[in-house]
Structure 1
Amino acid sequence: MAAAVAQLLLFVGVVVSSFCLHGARGTTNMDDLDFIPELTQRQAFDSDDFIFKFKKTADLTPFGNLRPMFVDFNPALATLPGDGASQNLVTVGPCAINQPHNHPRATQISHLTEGELFFGFAEENGGRSFVGGNATKGQTVIVPQGVIHFAQNLGCKEAQFIASFPHRDPGTQTTASTFFKLPLSVIRATTGLTNQEIKKIQLSVAANPNPSLDKECAKRCGIKY
């Protein structure tokens, strides 16, 4: 009896290991690094990943860029215990903004390495409608998990900050572009706008990728766009 139980447990272990390694569809999806066994994770990166250089850019416009170190950019993060950790190096040009967005899975701690930025966020329903202020080089800003927040450069010089997260994949959901991808009936009922007005805004939002420019500020700073 004991031998039969041992054989059964061994069989179950082999099946589970095979499923984890090959996935439900028969192949390993390297995008699902959180679910790959540790030995496979170790084979997915080399020693260079432990000294990350922020070479890859997720968002790039003439007005700034975002260079993340999330698990999909650095497989080494998949080996960290618990929820892991990640970072994002953000450059915000003069009069530009890292548009309102939220991170559904992590709190953000941002340390300014250059310039000055206006940070702010809105709390959940029933909370304060807005919390914000200016932060300068050497200061750190705390943004609670899940809240809509932004970083805006109201000056005429470039600013930069590094955002740290207690999660290997904090997720990013940009507020305007996400909302205006919803069905017309939903946007119409929420905003009171007509279909024609909504479509005009949709085109404007799509043509204004992140980071984007505040044109009134740009005029003040003499920036051509």
Structure 2
Amino acid sequence: MAHPQFQAAHLVLIALVVARGALAVDQSDLDFIPELTERQQFSPDFFIFKFQNADTTTPFGSLRTMFVNNNPALATLPGEGAAQNLVTLGPCGINQPHNHPRATEISHVTEGKLLFGFAEENGGRSFIGGNVTKGQTVIIPQGLIHFAQNLDCKEAQFIATFPNRDPGTQTTASTFFNLPLSTIRGTTGLSDEQIKKIQASVAANRNPSVDRECAKRCGLKY
């Protein structure tokens, strides 16, 4: 946990930035914040994040992050800081199963209805979840594999908040099928030919992706 004096210094820094518009931050004064570079300039725009640029966009949705790598002002926050994702899922779109190794996720649905779910650790329940509608919030414990899926025929959106400026993201399918072939073969019992076919399918199926049976029901042509 950060020393109380450091926490106080963080709060003073933020107040000065907002009041004065910009502030030169000397790395020697903030050597406990490794993400900052010497004489980093912070304008008010760092503190009013607009989610203008999507990190990932497919025909089925978009992922827009505010992590410390694209907003270094998050490094000035006390403790582990904070981060957010703005996720838009088109009809039948899915934010594929993944986990955040360094943070719990608190997601608030701002539009539509989504199926959220996660799996507990070994020995726990294999699936916990349900439909979450506009105005509702769901909590995903740190490190657990989870997903958000839009099974409706109209767009849905949610904003995910993390108590860590760098929560990390590990997408389950693409991570697993990038392991050595012998590891996948020993885990699944599949042949090399079957594994390579799945690897190609996973690689081509960028996130967010789509449930084609849902799309068929909605009359969508993908």
Q: Shorter chain as normaliser: what TM range?
A: 0.7 to 0.9
Name the SS for the 1:90 alignment partner. Answer: strand
Q: Decide whether the 8 Å contact of 2:35 with 2:72 is kept in 1.
A: no
Q: Trace 1:130-145 onto structure 2 (pairs within 5 A).
A: 130-145=127-142
Paired with 1:121 and 1:140, the residues of 2 have a C-alpha distance of 14
Q: Which has the larger radius of gyration?
A: 1
Paired with 2:35 and 2:84, the residues of 1 have a C-alpha distance of 21
Q: CA deviation at 1:44?
A: 4.3
Q: Hey, what does 2:34 align to over in structure 1?
A: 35
Q: Hey, what does 2:87 align to over in structure 1?
A: 90
Q: CA deviation at 1:162?
A: 0.3
Q: Hey, what does 1:11 align to over in structure 2?
A: none
Give structure 2 stretches of 5+ with no counterpart.
Answer: 1-26
Paired with 1:171 and 1:206, the residues of 2 have a C-alpha distance of 20
Q: Hey, what does 1:10 align to over in structure 2?
A: none
Q: Trace 1:127-206 onto structure 2 (pairs within 5 A).
A: 127-206=124-203
Q: Hey, what does 1:116 align to over in structure 2?
A: 113
4+ residue runs over 6 A deviation: none
Paired with 1:132 and 1:85, the residues of 2 have a C-alpha distance of 25
Q: Trace 1:10-29 onto structure 2 (pairs within 5 A).
A: none
| Aligned residue pair count | 194
Paired with 2:167 and 2:93, the residues of 1 have a C-alpha distance of 23
Q: Does 1:107 align with 2:124?
A: no
Give structure 1 stretches of 5+ with no counterpart.
Answer: 1-20, 23-32
Letter in 1 for 2:42: F
Question: TM-score, normalised to structure 1's length?
Answer: 0.83
Name the SS for the 1:35 alignment partner. Answer: coil
Q: CA deviation at 1:45?
A: 3.1
Q: CA deviation at 1:84?
A: 0.2
Q: Does 1:57 align with 2:24?
A: no
Paired with 1:182 and 1:34, the residues of 2 have a C-alpha distance of 33
Paired with 2:108 and 2:215, the residues of 1 have a C-alpha distance of 25
Q: Decide whether the 8 Å contact of 1:61 with 1:212 is kept in 2.
A: yes
Letter in 2 for 1:211: P
Which structure shows the bigger proportion of residues in helix conformation? 1
Q: Decide whether the 8 Å contact of 2:91 with 2:156 is kept in 1.
A: yes
Paired with 1:59 and 1:174, the residues of 2 have a C-alpha distance of 13
Q: Decide whether the 8 Å contact of 1:44 with 1:75 is kept in 2.
A: no
Identity, in percent, stands at 74
Q: Deviations over 1:19-38 (max 9, x none)?
A: xx69xxxxxxxxxx94146x
Question: TM-score, normalised to structure 2's length?
Answer: 0.84
